[in-house]
Structure 1
Amino acid sequence: MQFTVDGTALDLTPANLIIAGWTGRNQDAIQHHIDELAELGVKPPSATPLFYRVSASLLTTADEIQAVGPASSGEVEPMIVQDGTRRWLGLGSDHTDRALEAHSVAMSKQVCAKPCAAQLWDWDGIADRLEDLVLESWVHEDGDWVEYQKGTAASIRPLADLIDGAGFDDLAKDGPVAMMCGTFGAIGGVRPAGRFRMRMTDPATGRSIAHEYATTTLPDIA
C-alpha cells in the first residue's frame, strides 16, 4: 500500500490488522452503542474493549469496495499504523456487515473491506493533542449528504491504552501493523448507505485527513 506523510510517499503494507471495539471512554456512551446494535440483533460484548484480529489484506485506500447484500455500513475511526518503532496516525472506516453482526461480530468484521485514507500524520507531531481531534462522517441518502457521526477522540479510550491492550508493539516485530481504534454512536441509528464520507481534523492547525468511498452491492445468493 502507498500512503503519504507530509507529502512524502510511504510504501507500507500491514502484516497485521486489528479492529478495536467498544472503546468508548464514557460507559453511558458504550451502553448507547450496545443498545443501538442490540436493535439489530447484535449480542453485547463479553468485555470492553475488545481487539478483533482480521485479515490485513482487507485494508484498502480504494474509493470503492464491494459487499454482499445491502446491510453493510461504515464507521469513522482513528487509525494507528506502526512499522518497527515508527508510528503514524490515520483515518479509517470499520465497514461492517450488520446482518452478519447479529450472528458473530468477529465474522462480520472479517467479511468487509476496511477503507482508509491514504494520508498519514507523523505520530510525534500530533501525540500531545490526540484527544482534541475531531472525527466526522456522513452518509449519502436520498441524494443528499447527511451527518452520521461526530465527536472528538476524547470520547475514545486513550490511544496509548489501546496500543498497550492490543499488544501493538509485539505485533510490530512481525512487520507493519494497523489498528482502527473505535467510534461513536450513529446520529439517527446505525444503517447502511451506498456512499460514506469521513474526516479527521486537527483544530490546532486546521489540517485534516479525509476519505470518501462507495459500496457496490453484490447479490446475496442463497
Structure 2
Amino acid sequence: MPIEFQAGGLPLALEVNHLIVAGWTGRDAGAIAHHIRELAAIGVPAPSATPLYYRVSAPLLTTAPRIQTVGGASSGEVEPLLIQAGRARYLGLASDHTDRALETHSVALSKQVCAKPCAPELWPWEEVADHLDAIVLRSWVEDAGAWVPYQSGSIAEIRPLEELIAGSEIGALARDGAAAMLCGTFAAQGGVRPAAKFRMEMHDPITDRRIRHEYQCLTLPEVA
C-alpha cells in the first residue's frame, strides 16, 4: 500500500518496500556514551558496534495520527527520515517508537513491534542538502494535559547523513521500490519515558520552513 506524501507542494505516493532504523548515530562520541548510559539505566544492553542498521518491516512506517501498542512501556524518539526512491531523495520527519520493556531483551525486536509514525510532508533533498547540519528537530510529550519539551537537537549532532546512506546501503535497497531510513535521535530531557501523545517538529532555519506531526498511542492490554 503506497504512503501518500506531499513533496515540494505536490502529492507523492511512495511504495516503501524497505525500512531501516539507524541506531547509535551520534557524531560526538561523548553523546553516544551518554545515550548508551541513558538506556543502560533502563536495562538496555550496549550495542555491538556504532552505528547499527536495524532492518524492520516496511509497513511499520505510517502517517496515521494513531498507533497501537501492547502494554504501556513504549515511547517515541524524533528522528530525521531519509527516503530514497530511485534517483530521487527526500528528507522527512519520523518517530522511532520503541517498546522499552522489550528493548531490555532485544533492541532489534523492540523496534520491530512498534509502528514508526512519520509526517506526511517531505522536503526534496536538493532543497536542503547544502545546509543539513543547520536543521533542528524537537519533540514534546503530553504530561498531565500539558505539552512538555522532550528532545531537541540538530542534524549536526548526528553522523553525516551521506555517511549513514553509505553504511546502510539504502541506495541498493531502493532499486526495488522506495527505501526509508530513520537516522538517529537525541537524548531525552528528564530521561526516556512513555507518553500517550507525542509531538515532533523539524525546522529549517535557512528557509524558515517547518514540518510538524503529532500522534497518539493507544495501549492494548498485555495479556499473559
| 1:82 maps to 2:92 | no
| Secondary structure at the counterpart of residue 55 of structure 2 | strand
| 1:206 maps to 2:208 | yes
Report the residue type matching 1:20 in the other structure: A
Q: Which residue of 2 aligns with 1:72?
A: 74
Q: Distance in 2 between matches of 1:168 and 1:174?
A: 10
Identity of aligned residues (%): 62
| Secondary structure at the counterpart of residue 201 of structure 1 | strand
Q: Distance in 1 between matches of 2:128 and 2:168?
A: 21
Q: Which residue of 1 aligns with 2:31?
A: 29
Q: Which residue of 2 aligns with 1:148?
A: 150
| 1:184 maps to 2:186 | yes
Q: Which residue of 2 aligns with 1:171?
A: 173
Q: Which residue of 2 aligns with 1:60?
A: 62
Report the residue type matching 1:130 in the other structure: L
| Structure 1 position 174, deviation (Å) | 1.2
Q: Distance in 2 between matches of 1:204 and 1:175?
A: 31
- Number of equivalent positions: 222
Report the residue type matching 2:141 in the other structure: V
Query: Residue by residue, what CA displacement relative to the aligned partner does 1:138-169 show, whole Å, maximum 9, x if unpaired?
Result: 00011110000001100000000000000011
| Structure 1 position 209, deviation (Å) | 0.5
| Structure 1 position 207, deviation (Å) | 0.6
| Secondary structure at the counterpart of residue 25 of structure 1 | coil
Q: Which residue of 2 aligns with 1:41?
A: 43
| Secondary structure at the counterpart of residue 36 of structure 1 | helix
Q: Which residue of 2 aligns with 1:122?
A: 124
Q: Which residue of 2 aligns with 1:138?
A: 140
| Structure 1 position 13, deviation (Å) | 1.9
Q: Distance in 1 between matches of 2:15 and 2:105?
A: 31
| Secondary structure at the counterpart of residue 29 of structure 1 | helix
Q: Which residue of 1 aligns with 2:94?
A: 92
CA RMSD of aligned residues (A): 0.5
- Which segments of structure 1 move beyond 2 Å, counting only runs of 4 or more? none
Q: Which residue of 2 aligns with 1:196?
A: 198
Q: Which residue of 2 aligns with 1:108?
A: 110
Report the residue type matching 2:78 in the other structure: V
Question: TM-score w.r.t. structure 2 length?
Answer: 0.98
Q: Distance in 2 between matches of 1:171 and 1:7?
A: 26
Q: Structure 2 unaligned runs (5+)?
A: none
Q: Which residue of 1 aligns with 2:222?
A: 220
| Secondary structure at the counterpart of residue 190 of structure 2 | coil
